Amino acid sequence: KASDINSVLSYLNKNRTTPSVTYSGVAKGKNVFVIHLESLQQFIIDFKWDGQEVTPNLNKLYHDQNTLSFDNFYNQVGQGKTADAEMMLENSLFGLPEGSAMVTDGTSNTFQAVPAILDEQGYTTAAFHGDVPSFWNRDNTYKSWGYDYYFSKEYFSSGKNYDVGYGLKDKIFLKDSAKYIEQLPQPFYAKLITVTNHYPYTLDKANTSIKQTDTGDDTVDGYVQTAKYLDQAIGELMTWLKTSGLDKNSMLVLYGDHYGISGNHKKAVAKLLGEKTFNDFDNAQFQKVPFMIHMPGLKGGINHTYGGEIDVMPTLLNLLGVKNTGTVQFGSDLLAPNRNQTVAFRNGDFVTPTYTKVGSRYYMTQTGKEIEKLTAAQKEAVNQATNRVTTELSLSDKVITGDLLRFYKPSWFKPVDKKDYSYKLSNG
Ligand code: GP9
Ligand code: MN
């Protein structure tokens, strides 16, 4: 009911983090590229195998002085995987405890998503993905989020061996996307969703340039090959950005959406990482994914704050100088000096700089040491984190399942009318 939004707003208003002043508006009016790195985990950054770096292009970006890189950034997805990542990144709302919110609620719900917010700032917004438009109900959800354009499979070249797994190979996909991007009115916000580095990590021989790892686990060993291919595709994209001149007035945001190697492959992962064991704590830390923001002139460096996908929207809007003090969002600006660093996982587990909770067990985050018996002070700290996590997950769920944003009409937001959008090729 309509009044339910008030309890959400009163919680959020009590807990709002003041965004960074230093970074506020530094990317105002710039084009934005959001680059979705499918299944890419943080461990692959600077990882070497077969006598070479697996992701040299991303490594270079990671260490660039104009890149803000985050080394304690976690994926927070549930069953909705990619779709949950998209929901968090562009709405700062969590995916649901079961299923994919984009599928169950993407068509009918009201959202106040990043594309719709940027639309009012004069941005053209477009999403690109080499799979069929209906996957994860993107073709409907993107309308609710206010995307002007959605370029899906039918907009791109097709041919023998052009596809692998869920869609068009990343190199072809990014190259084809570039020619559409060059035609977008500026400033634009373009989201590019790659797909080749997706389980089961298969790739044709011609595109393979590193040998498989040797854990003996088939679901793990191809990962470096597709990750390398993805990295090369990003390298080609970077080259195009330079030759087109778009690099000069664009901000790049890159993120890994979720784990590629699940916690069911402990032995193989231990071998891959050169560790003796891989326990539940290690698996929680293994949920880190890359998150980088790159722009000419940006004051970069490796930032150690603990955060995750839910925090991207407030971070991004602040960089773009878009005031969003009234938004319904569950994350906080990653660049804010005094932010709460509790990272919620969809199942209620969490990581803070001090404690990691997995099920009923607690660990010291910095050492990985399990806490056998919590002291009174520790108990209080973990209870506080638990309360925060369960409250935010359940309030976020209420917003989605109750379609509560339909009752929230801030003056700064122009509601999206889905009838205004069509992604059919004939209208493109
Ligand atoms: C397919 C793709 C895969 O279109 O984005 O989604 P995932 O299986 O990673 O959730
Ligand atoms: Mn995915």
User: Residue ranges for the binding site for Mn(2+)?
Assistant: 38, 82, 257-258
Testing ligand 1's pocket by substitution, the residue of 103, 195, 197 carrying the most ligand atoms inside 8 A of its CB is 195
**Residues with CB in 5 Å of ion ligand 2:** 81-82, 257
Q: What is the pLDDT of residue 428?
A: 45
Written as six digits, the tokens of 100 are 């994919």
> Could you give the 3-state DSSP secondary structure of residue 225?
helix
- State the chain's maximal CA–CA distance in angstroms: 65
Pick the residue whose CA is nearest to atom 5 on ligand 1.
82
Q: Are strands 291-294 and 250-256 parallel, antiparallel or unpaired?
A: antiparallel
Q: What is the pLDDT of residue 255?
A: 99
CB of 309 closer than 6 angstroms to any ligand 1 atom: no
Q: What is the pLDDT of residue 324?
A: 80
**CA 257 to ligand 2 center in whole angstroms:** 6
Residue 120's identity, in one-letter code, is E
Q: Give the position, in ligand 1's atom list, of the atom nearest the Cα of 198.
A: 9
What is the distance between the alpha carbons of residues 293 and 63, in angstroms, rounded to a whole number? 11
Nearest ligand to the C-alpha atom of residue 130: 1
User: Residue ranges for the binding site?
Assistant: 38, 82, 198, 257-258
Please identify which residue in the block is written with the tokens 């880190």.
288
Residue 132's identity, in one-letter code, is V
What is the distance between the alpha carbons of residues 116 and 143, in angstroms, rounded to a whole number? 9
What is the distance between the alpha carbons of residues 43 and 287, in angstroms, rounded to a whole number? 9
ipTM attached to this prediction: 0.99
Q: pLDDT tens track of the chain, all 428 residues?
A: 889 999 999 999 999 999 999 999 999 999 999 999 999 999 999 999 999 999 999 999 999 999 999 999 999 999 999 999 999 999 999 999 999 999 999 999 999 999 999 999 999 999 999 999 999 999 999 999 999 999 999 999 999 999 999 999 999 999 999 999 999 999 999 999 999 999 999 999 999 999 999 999 999 999 999 999 999 999 999 999 999 999 999 999 999 999 999 989 999 999 999 999 999 999 999 999 999 999 999 999 999 999 999 999 999 999 999 988 889 999 999 999 999 999 999 999 999 999 999 999 999 999 999 999 999 999 999 999 999 999 999 999 999 999 999 999 999 999 999 999 999 987 44
DSSP for 112-160, written as a single string: --HHHHHHTTT-EEEEEESS-TTGGGHHHHHHHTT-SEEE-GGGS---T
**Torsion angle in degrees (nearest 10) through CA of 284, 285, 290, 292:** 110
**CA 82 to ligand 2 center in whole angstroms:** 4
Q: Residue 164 belongs to what H/E stretch?
A: strand 163-164
CB of 131 closer than 6 angstroms to any ligand 1 atom: yes
Testing ligand 1's pocket by substitution, the residue of 36, 76, 166, 255 carrying the most ligand atoms inside 8 A of its CB is 166
CB of 82 closer than 6 angstroms to any ligand 1 atom: yes
**CA 169 to ligand 1 center in whole angstroms:** 14
What is the distance between the alpha carbons of residues 354 and 392, in angstroms, rounded to a whole number? 20
Q: Beta-carbon neighbour count of residue 68 at 10 Å?
A: 22
